[in-house]
Amino acid sequence: MLRDALLALSESSLARRIATDAPFARGVARRFVAGETREDALTAARALNEAAMHVSLDYLGEAVGSQDEARGAAAAIEQVVRSIAREGLDANVSVKLTQLGQDIDDDFLRRTVDGLLDTAAESGTFVRFDMESSDYTEHTLRFFEELWSAGRRGIGVVLQSYLYRTEEDVARANELGARVRLCKGAYKEPERVAYPDKADVDASFVRCMRMLLADGVYPGIATHDEAMIEATKDFAREQGIDRDRFEFQMLYGVRRDVQKRLVGEGYHLRIYVPFGEAWYPYFMRRMAERPANLFFVMDSVIRESPLGFLRRDGRGAAR
């Protein structure tokens, strides 16, 4: 019921107008989305760089239905890439293949992506292909491998630990020598393809993380779960893996207390910064895909607010 309600709100022009105009709603959204314009994203990136954090900029949008939309998205991302180079920012870009025409035609997608990668290569900007629902996993990996076989470098992919297949996909990426961003996954998936229980997702995350740290190429360990963060630190320490061989990744505005702590401890940290006019449907769909995300966002705000002490145990540590 909650999922249906959130999806309905994501498509409601009235709800969007209210959210866009209401100071509180915009304030909450701006905590997790940098803003609507490229300059908003660049401003956020500058501030994060000043705080010793790396950045990945994501121009919001997905599942476009026309070639014109895909070309427009590619052009906007290319502008972001040029801005990164012009300002000398410590940043890369994350893109969704459905935003660039994956649902339209493979040949068209390849032309669109090749143009973007040519622009990125000119300035040495790394491009990460985000992973969407399991319906796209194999298609995305095959497309990535085709690019790799064609000599494309400076590209990476995302893998999700809640899928049963992910350990095999990690081995597949490690064999290529490709950079992987490992996350748990936030889409609603059927039990035939994904672990339904958090404990199993976490166990898979740890196994994949160990494979990536041991045999991968500068992996991004993307999590806000402190247990997963500690498991990563412990494995790296036990195996003598230097901190320069991997990075943690976290979402813009989420667990900023942990973000500061990781940087203070000398770990590399990259912040995923979404922006664009599609912020409202993006935000609501993320909540709808996994309603637990809504409570996670609320929990994150509470943890960092003056009410955070209510969630602390007797030892003064956040649970």
Query: Which of 38, 58, 128, 130 is flagged as catalytic?
Result: 130
Q: Decide if 107 is catalytic.
A: no
Asked whether the beta carbons of 139 and 147 are under 8 A apart, the reply is no
Query: Which residues partner with 249 through β-bridges?
Result: 222, 270
Q: Decide if 179 is catalytic.
A: no
CB neighbour burial string for 213-238, b if at least 16 within 10 angstroms, e if fewer: beebeebbbbbbbeebbebbbeebee
Identity of the amino acid at 77: I
Query: Which of 181, 255, 270, 285 is flagged as catalytic?
Result: 181
Spacing of C-alpha 41 from chain mean position: 15
Query: Which residues partner with 159 through β-bridges?
Result: 182
| Cα end-to-end distance, the chain, whole Å | 28
Nearest C-alpha neighbor of 213 from the set 240, 185, 183, 236: 236
Q: Catalytic positions, please?
A: 130, 181
